[in-house]
Structure 1
Amino acid sequence: MAAVTGLFHDQESAERAYISATEAGYGANDINVIMSDETRERYYGEHATLETEVGNKAAEGAAVGGALGATAGAIAGAIAAVGTAIVLPGLGLVIAGPLAAGIAGAGAGGVTAGLVGALIGWGIPEDTLKKYEADVKEGGILIGLNPKSEDDARRFQNEWAKSEAVV
């Protein structure tokens, strides 16, 4: 089953999509969030990726979420969690979720092709990936996950499309 993705053009709709996925039983280790470093700083602050122990991820996410308020908390917790987020300064990207671990394992050489190279395994057509890459550079937030069922896939595609996401 192909990944379900949505490119959101504002923080609020991205947060709703992320929360919808968590309410459906998906966790931070299931949901990928990709944004530019500039977008992270604008919406979540310069120091959203914090240094803490991996065992304290949940508590840290809750603390950051409480500090930023309900609408900004879900994604902020994901990008603040050590082990589930990576900043790629050369590409200007912040990636949170299981994709971050894969990129970290591949090393710097694994991400030289940019977002398109990082997401090629998601089964998304390359022209769509190039559009996503351009939109992320322009301030969009890309959320993706591997759905557990066809019903979940349809649900997220429909919900995210209603939020005017590019799906």
Structure 2
Amino acid sequence: MSKTVISTFSSRAQAEKAVSDLRNKGFEHEISIVAKDESGTTAIDRNSEMYGGDSITDGTAAGGMLGGIAGLALGAGAMAIPGLGPVIAAGPIAGLFSGAATGGIAGGLTDWGIPEDRGNYYEGKLKEGNIVAAIKTDDNKVSTAASVLRSHGAQDVETH
């Protein structure tokens, strides 16, 4: 049975380090990242660390909002969410938000087992400019995912 570990980051650097550490611990396609795209730019930096480049360059993925994170998970894409504005999502969770144009982020999170009230909370955190990380994984990997997130400064770490 799978569960979702969800958290927020107040900085891009923290989120990038957490995602990198998760990948080093064997998490690949389970990692999803969602953040506001303040610039409206959605080009993904193919020279980011994910793609073997030397560094994460400024102003490339989501106008620098996510830097290399956008390439760290499959399915990166951008969309406009009413009441939230432009959002970039990377990873399996991005597919959930393709139908979120009317239901918002919270509605998409319920498909991952996040209760509606907590989905609304995380949507609010996105509005404030935080980055939301979600890892959908097997029960036996949940504590590892949560531990890695916390070790990199994640806030609001929950398992559902």
**Which category of TM-score, normalised to the shorter sequence, fits these structures?**
0.7 to 0.9
CA gap 1:82/1:165 in 2 versus in 1, 3 angstroms? closer
Query: What pairs up with 1:148-167 in 2 under 5 angstroms?
Result: 148-150=138-140, 152-162=141-151, 163-167=153-157
Q: What per-residue deviation string (whole Å, max 9, x for no partner) do you get for residues 78-117 of structure 1? A: 525896111112432111111223444x5xxx43111001
The structure richer in helix per residue is 1
Query: What pairs up with 1:106-125 in 2 under 5 angstroms?
Result: 106=99, 110-125=100-115
Q: Which runs of 5+ in 1 are unaligned?
A: 52-56
Partner of 1:36: 36
The AA in structure 2 aligned to 1:123 is G
CA distance in 2, matches of 1:23, 1:82: 13
The structure richer in strand per residue is 2
The question of whether the paired residues in 1 share the 8 Å contact of 2:19 and 2:69 is answered with: no
1:138 equivalent to 2:132? Answer: no
The AA in structure 2 aligned to 1:2 is K
Using structure 2 for the length normalisation, give the TM-score. Answer: 0.73
Local SS of the residue matching 2:137: coil
- 2:67 corresponds to which of 49, 61, 76: 76
The question of whether the paired residues in 2 share the 8 Å contact of 1:49 and 1:82 is answered with: no
Partner of 1:23: 24
The Cα shift of 1:36 comes to: 0.4
Partner of 2:88: 94
Aligned residues: 147
Q: What per-residue deviation string (whole Å, max 9, x for no partner) do you get for residues 106-153 of structure 1? A: 5xxx43111001111111122211111111111100111112342x21
CA gap 1:18/1:130 in 2 versus in 1, 3 angstroms? same
The AA in structure 1 aligned to 2:11 is D
CA distance in 2, matches of 1:15, 1:82: 11
Q: Which runs of 5+ in 2 are unaligned?
A: none
Local SS of the residue matching 2:138: coil
